[in-house]
Chain A
Amino acid sequence: MDEHGQLHITQLLLDWSEGNRSALERLTPLVYGELHRLAHHYMNRERSGHTLQTSALVNEAFVRLVDQKNVKWNNRAHFFAIAAQMMRRILVDYARSHLYAKRGAGAIHVSLDQATLVSNEPSAEVTALDEALTRLESIDPQQARVVELRFFGGLTIKETAEAMGISVDMVKREWSTAKAWLYREMSHPVDGTT
């Protein structure tokens, strides 16, 4: 990543965090390589039995992408939030294309049934979770952010609490109940009330 590319990405991220949706469209392909790097890194560490903190990896990926000198994050929550959102976007995009490649065009809109979940297809699980999370956002934005930080950002309960400025107990509460809600959504996505 040259300096120019880094600046470019930084600007897009800032645009995006200020609500410019088209910035994200242009951002995704630029950071795609980072996903591969991260995944390889993860697997290599995993195989060799090294312990590993996902949040550190995600942060590291993010730090590499973004020109830290020229961007002032409002606070740590802002930093984590952007990093987690970006991871979500990249991972979900990847998962969709993976499923697409596997099953053909008809399966882009994945409606996940119990069987698929049990079949342990990570791409399907990630895609389904993303869809359920989007629905959760509309009814409980704070809870959705907890999930985003935990699941996509890789933060621990404690890190999430720090990043969001809420108590650990609150995070536990949000996380535990979100899991129930999301899992039910993912297992029975079409409940007619939509």
Chain B
Amino acid sequence: MERPERWQEAKDILYSALEMEPGPRAYFLDERCGDDLELRKEIESLIAAHSEAGGRLESPAIELMAESVVNRDNDDLIGGLLGNYQVIEMLGGGGMGEVFLARDTRLDRRAAIKLLPDSLTSNNQTKQRFTQEAKAASALNHPNIITIYEIASHNGHDFIAMEYVEGETIRDLLERGRIDTRRAIEFCAQAASGIAAAHEAGIIHRDIKPENLMVTRSSQLKILDFGLAKLVERRPSLGDSHLPTVDYPRSNELVVTVPGTILGTVAYMSPEQAEGRPLDSRTDIFSLGVVFYEMITGKRPFDGKSAIDTLHSIINSEPPPARDLNVNLPIEVEDLLAKSLAKDLSERYQHAGDFELDLRRFKRGLESGSLPSVRNMPHSSVGKNSISPLWWLAPGTVLLGAIVLWAYITSDRMVTSPPATAPSLAQMTLSPLTIDPGFEGEPTFAPDGQTIAYVSDRTGNFEIFLRQISGGPDINLTNNPADDMQPSISPDGKQVAFVSSRSGVSDCLCFFIYGTDQPLMGGAIWVMPALGGSPRKIVETGTFPSWSPDGGSLIFSKGPWYGQSIYKVPSNGGEPQEIALNLKKAAPFIAYPSYSPEGSHILFEAANNIFVVSSNGGDARLVVEGKHPVWSADGSSIFYTNVEAGRNYTLWQAPFSIQEGKLVGEPSPLTVGRGRDTQPAVSRDGKLIAFSALDVSFNLESVLFDAESAKIQDSPRPLTSGSDLIYFFSTPDNAETAVFDSHRGASSFIWKVDETSPSVQLTSDPKFDDYFPQISPDGRTIAFNRHPPDQPEAPDDLWFMEADGANPRLVMEKAGFVGWMPDGRSFTYYSFGDGQLYLYDLQSKSAKQITNEEGVYAKGIPSPDGKWVAFMSIATGNMDIRAVPIEGGESISVVATSRQDFHPVFSPSGKWLYFQLDHKNIYRVPGPAQAWRKSEPEKVTDFPESGLFLENPQISSNGRKLIYSKRRTGGDIWLLTLNK
């Protein structure tokens, strides 16, 4: 059948025949083919072939080939290296790309590698948006969000390396049927907790679905793929008019960016997503509601025959009542579902935290049998709308900062009875007392239990305000241009003691350096009438005042910058007396002393540990690791902030015996710590606990300036953002990239960032805290300090690694704080053995002592000509700056103000030495290229000083940029009500 005209003839007959049933077909063929047997045979063989072919050839070729192409690509990857990762096996494919199990060759740990489809990252703009988003997502540090290690590219493959979690997805669980209600609530609450944290950081997931929720063996839920959905959503449109267009149904088109491809799994979309309206964080709440419904009923609330059907149902239909599908569900669940699946945004939960709280209350009620429906009446007799509002859905509760917990960490305890001293969940409510932007913290109760004094920076500086818990206007008690902080109300309620910088610059409120909540310290202690009046200065220098139970005296902490003691002073003034402490191990930074209710003992914090001592002083006893302790009203327990690894700055309560001077039971958590929950205060009747949920970050900023003229030429630009806590960093080039340390979670690790890419994590061994990274002048080697986190007193070791984090290696024990010499062939370091600076030559591998004096404060900074080393010294008790010739000898004093002089750094010409006063503004004095000419410090930056904290300023090698880490502090006060 090779002749075209012959085929045209055959085709006509064949097509008609194919449309017919076999009977008529034979008849038809008899008629049409007549005697042409060859044609008849031809047609019959074609009909046979057609029926054999069946559905073959109906799938486009690319569909047939896709799997084989992909498998071959993946086969090529397995066993090979993808950046620093050795690919072991394929774990699966997801909406966002194939996932592989891999081993991180640098850190020898397992990681999951997600390959991003090229099609999603091939467009530069899309890719840039993606990296921004992924960078933000990678900064999320929450137990219910999978940790992203890095986002990188290798041989054209863009990939994300993340925490490898063994477990199953909620989808896997659902495939075995619906999930036990209590487990489902727990999973959903955990997911809500993670989502709430992300929302707080400004990140929306957009694709919450069972496939993206993973459950570990220990029933911890982890949310996957944060920030990735946006990558798909924001693809460029193919809007050119001459391009082919294809008609698609309207409801589909709106969620489509490339014609014909529906994004996201439609069943979990929110109505606003289905309609293509703008999204905010509430879209995730809806999607989680859909997952919750499916978990407890085994069915999806919106399910159509096709994607379009499903979308239509999401937009227009109410889901069947969950109890129709699972009769064991209590009626209260309908209310949870109604509030999470509300189509109207204003009727939906406004915050994922509210959803979490309601879920936890619901679970608690379910377990204790105290749900109204369970308690009062059988299920069947309860009308659908008969209970509203439900008592356990505290109306109007806004939850941003922290969440009452219990079941979260110790779900077993829920079943048995809670410990005697710990308030049970049903007896606690949590509500915010302040919701203002900025900082609100340091609450303290008046004896009436109804009035709180607290600190706010809403006026532009720190002031002490009074507020009635029941409402009413705030009273600005201090109302003064100076900073006023750390209020403490006297036991009779008539006076307020506080710390103020009002008497002059020497009383500057500086930041307390230890730990990340870093309250201010310094200043003078003042006392004023609680209802307003003239303050009186009681103590010239002191911080953290606290009243004795009889109101006759105040205790406070005071001392040189490094090494305070506790003092006592009569509340009407007088000479402070030291309460001599005997601490078994050195513990600087004594803070928050407070008397026990009967006055026999004092509780205080020193370097992240809580101690107790007799009020007459003597041997102090370590109570527990933690911060900011206070006594309960009756002294039978203490409240404190838990800073252990993984505890995330949560508020805890621990039973305490004053007689025995120690804990007499297990500590238990009170909050989950969305913020840094700290600074607790207890009302006299013991029923209320106020605390602050702080939000603290340190991020890098750079500003254009001229190191010679000291002129600032621009406004600062952020180099990092998010929840970083960056203290030290270095830049090899002109601040195009920076390596920095960051406490994102419990540990400090080293990261690298440049102006266009997301941060990349270079170290991640949980056995170490890594900090103070110093990159060599050629940009190839990073020197850093390494420290075991569980041994605060142990000296650091000095390590090197490559600039990309490869090959970490121990260089020297008991050493650290490297200062690279300009030629990169030698460096200065600090010896933890004798507390001196040394010069180490990399070629001869020999060290030479530089300093020989007391009080050298760790880091040495070589001058640009390599002839001097500047360093900080605490020899006088104050922080001063000195310099010593590189070949050793007597050091000279460079800066010695009455304040704390920090962080010297040379201008590239060596003409100037820049430094900071009190971690605040930056100043400079003449440097070695001006023969250390004596001159008053010249102020370089002019940041408002209230609340200002800059760390570790650096100057780029071309002298055009000033880079520093800047602290931001926000916080709100929360009230925990114990309904005993």
Give complex CA distance A173, B7 in Å. Answer: 13
Provided the pairs A51-B307, A53-B261, A183-B56 are in contact, do residues A44 and B62 lie with their beta carbons within 8 angstroms?
Answer: no
Across the interface, do B63 and A177 meet the contact criterion of CB distance under 8 Å? no
Enumerate B44-73 residues with CB–CB distance to A below 8 Å: 45-50, 52-53, 56-57, 60-70, 72-73
A30 touches B (CB below 8 Å): no
Across the interface, do B50 and A179 meet the contact criterion of CB distance under 8 Å? yes
Distance in angstroms from B130 CB to nearest chain A CB is: 15
Across the interface, do A154 and B62 meet the contact criterion of CB distance under 8 Å? yes
User: In chain B, what residue has the closest Cβ to A92?
Assistant: B61
Of B67, B115, B118, B260, the residue contacting A52 (CB under 8 A) is B260
Instruction: Give chain A's interface residue range (CB within 8 Å of chain B).
Output: 35 or more
Give complex CA distance A132, B118 in Å. Answer: 33
Across the interface, do B52 and A183 meet the contact criterion of CB distance under 8 Å? yes
Across the interface, do A37 and B117 meet the contact criterion of CB distance under 8 Å? yes
Provided the pairs A39-B69, A122-B68 are in contact, do residues A53 and B119 lie with their beta carbons within 8 angstroms?
Answer: no
Across the interface, do B4 and A48 meet the contact criterion of CB distance under 8 Å? no
Enumerate B220-254 residues with CB–CB distance to A below 8 Å: 238, 240, 242-244, 246
Give complex CA distance A59, B4 in Å. Answer: 32
Provided the pairs A54-B60, A122-B68, A140-B8 are in contact, do residues A59 and B243 lie with their beta carbons within 8 angstroms?
Answer: yes
**Set of chain B residues within 8 Å of A184, measured between Cβ atoms:** 45-46, 48-49
Give complex CA distance A40, B156 in Å. Answer: 14
Enumerate A92-112 residues with CB–CB distance to B below 8 Å: 94-95, 98
User: In chain A, what residue has the closest Cβ to B248?
Assistant: A53
Across the interface, do A151 and B65 meet the contact criterion of CB distance under 8 Å? no
Of A36, A60, A151, A193, the residue contacting B57 (CB under 8 A) is A151
Enumerate A174-194 residues with CB–CB distance to B below 8 Å: 176-177, 179-184, 187, 193-194
**Set of chain B residues within 8 Å of A140, measured between Cβ atoms:** 4, 7-8, 11
**Set of chain A residues within 8 Å of B68, measured between Cβ atoms:** 98, 122-123
Distance in angstroms from B326 CB to nearest chain A CB is: 25
Across the interface, do A50 and B238 meet the contact criterion of CB distance under 8 Å? no
Across the interface, do B93 and A47 meet the contact criterion of CB distance under 8 Å? yes
Across the interface, do A76 and B244 meet the contact criterion of CB distance under 8 Å? yes
Provided the pairs A37-B119, A187-B52 are in contact, do residues A176 and B61 lie with their beta carbons within 8 angstroms?
Answer: no
Of B1, B18, B119, B262, the residue contacting A41 (CB under 8 A) is B119
Across the interface, do B94 and A150 meet the contact criterion of CB distance under 8 Å? no
Give complex CA distance A37, B7 in Å. Answer: 39
**Set of chain B residues within 8 Å of A159, measured between Cβ atoms:** 244, 246
Give complex CA distance A150, B3 in Å. Answer: 24
**Set of chain B residues within 8 Å of A176, measured between Cβ atoms:** 15, 18, 50
B625 touches A (CB below 8 Å): no
**Set of chain B residues within 8 Å of A87, measured between Cβ atoms:** 61-62
Of B64, B117, B238, the residue contacting A63 (CB under 8 A) is B238
A1 touches B (CB below 8 Å): yes
Across the interface, do B61 and A151 meet the contact criterion of CB distance under 8 Å? yes
Give complex CA distance A36, B119 in Å. Answer: 9
Give complex CA distance A140, B263 in Å. Answer: 40
**Set of chain B residues within 8 Å of A59, measured between Cβ atoms:** 238, 243-244
Of B2, B47, B94, B263, the residue contacting A180 (CB under 8 A) is B47
**Set of chain A residues within 8 Å of B624, measured between Cβ atoms:** none
Provided the pairs A53-B246, A126-B64 are in contact, do residues A40 and B117 lie with their beta carbons within 8 angstroms?
Answer: yes
Give complex CA distance A80, B263 in Å. Answer: 25
Chain A interface, >50% SS class: helix
Provided the pairs A43-B93, A64-B122, A183-B57 are in contact, do residues A48 and B244 lie with their beta carbons within 8 angstroms?
Answer: no
Give complex CA distance A79, B240 in Å. Answer: 13
Distance in angstroms from A165 CB to nearest chain B CB is: 13
Of B62, B95, B122, the residue contacting A58 (CB under 8 A) is B62
Question: Interface centre among A53, A125, A140, by most B CB within 10 Å?
Answer: A53
Distance in angstroms from B339 CB to nearest chain A CB is: 28
Across the interface, do B46 and A60 meet the contact criterion of CB distance under 8 Å? no
Give complex CA distance A95, B62 in Å. Answer: 11
Give complex CA distance A143, B261 in Å. Answer: 29
**Set of chain A residues within 8 Å of B888, measured between Cβ atoms:** none
Chain B 84-107, CB within 8 Å of chain A: the 1/0 string?
Answer: 000000000111111000000000
**Set of chain A residues within 8 Å of B53, measured between Cβ atoms:** 179-180, 183
Distance in angstroms from A45 CB to nearest chain B CB is: 7
**Set of chain B residues within 8 Å of A94, measured between Cβ atoms:** 65, 69
Across the interface, do A123 and B65 meet the contact criterion of CB distance under 8 Å? yes
Question: Interface centre among B15, B122, B244, by most A CB within 10 Å?
Answer: B244
**Set of chain A residues within 8 Å of B1, measured between Cβ atoms:** 139, 193
Provided the pairs A183-B57, A184-B49 are in contact, do residues A50 and B263 lie with their beta carbons within 8 angstroms?
Answer: yes
Across the interface, do A60 and B50 meet the contact criterion of CB distance under 8 Å? no
Enumerate B840-872 residues with CB–CB distance to A below 8 Å: none
A23 touches B (CB below 8 Å): no
A9 touches B (CB below 8 Å): no
Across the interface, do B261 and A91 meet the contact criterion of CB distance under 8 Å? no
Across the interface, do B46 and A38 meet the contact criterion of CB distance under 8 Å? no
B587 touches A (CB below 8 Å): no
Enumerate B27-48 residues with CB–CB distance to A below 8 Å: 45-48
Give complex CA distance A168, B63 in Å. Answer: 23
A35 touches B (CB below 8 Å): yes
Provided the pairs A54-B60, A177-B14 are in contact, do residues A91 and B50 lie with their beta carbons within 8 angstroms?
Answer: no
Chain A 45-81, CB within 8 Å of chain B: the 1/0 string?
Answer: 1111111111111111001100010001100100110
B745 touches A (CB below 8 Å): no
**Set of chain B residues within 8 Å of A151, measured between Cβ atoms:** 57, 60-61
Of A37, A173, A180, the residue contacting B49 (CB under 8 A) is A180
B259 touches A (CB below 8 Å): yes
Provided the pairs A44-B97, A80-B244 are in contact, do residues A88 and B61 lie with their beta carbons within 8 angstroms?
Answer: yes
Across the interface, do B61 and A56 meet the contact criterion of CB distance under 8 Å? no
Distance in angstroms from B592 CB to nearest chain A CB is: 52
Distance in angstroms from A131 CB to nearest chain B CB is: 13
Across the interface, do A44 and B49 meet the contact criterion of CB distance under 8 Å? no
**Set of chain B residues within 8 Å of A16, measured between Cβ atoms:** none
A27 touches B (CB below 8 Å): no
Across the interface, do B259 and A56 meet the contact criterion of CB distance under 8 Å? yes
Chain A 152-180, CB within 8 Å of chain B: the 1/0 string?
Answer: 11100001000100000000010011011
Across the interface, do B3 and A48 meet the contact criterion of CB distance under 8 Å? no
Provided the pairs A76-B244, A129-B57 are in contact, do residues A49 and B65 lie with their beta carbons within 8 angstroms?
Answer: no
B258 touches A (CB below 8 Å): yes
B979 touches A (CB below 8 Å): no
10 contacts between A and B (CB under 8 A): A41-B118, A44-B117, A47-B95, A91-B62, A95-B65, A122-B67, A126-B65, A139-B3, A140-B11, A176-B18
User: Told that A38-B62, A125-B56, A154-B61 touch, could you supply 15 new A-B pairs with CB distance under 8 A?
Assistant: A41-B117, A44-B98, A51-B260, A51-B307, A52-B261, A87-B62, A94-B69, A125-B64, A126-B65, A139-B1, A151-B60, A154-B62, A177-B18, A179-B53, A183-B50
8 A-B pairs closest in CB distance:
A53-B260, A48-B95, A39-B69, A184-B49, A180-B50, A56-B260, A183-B53, A154-B60
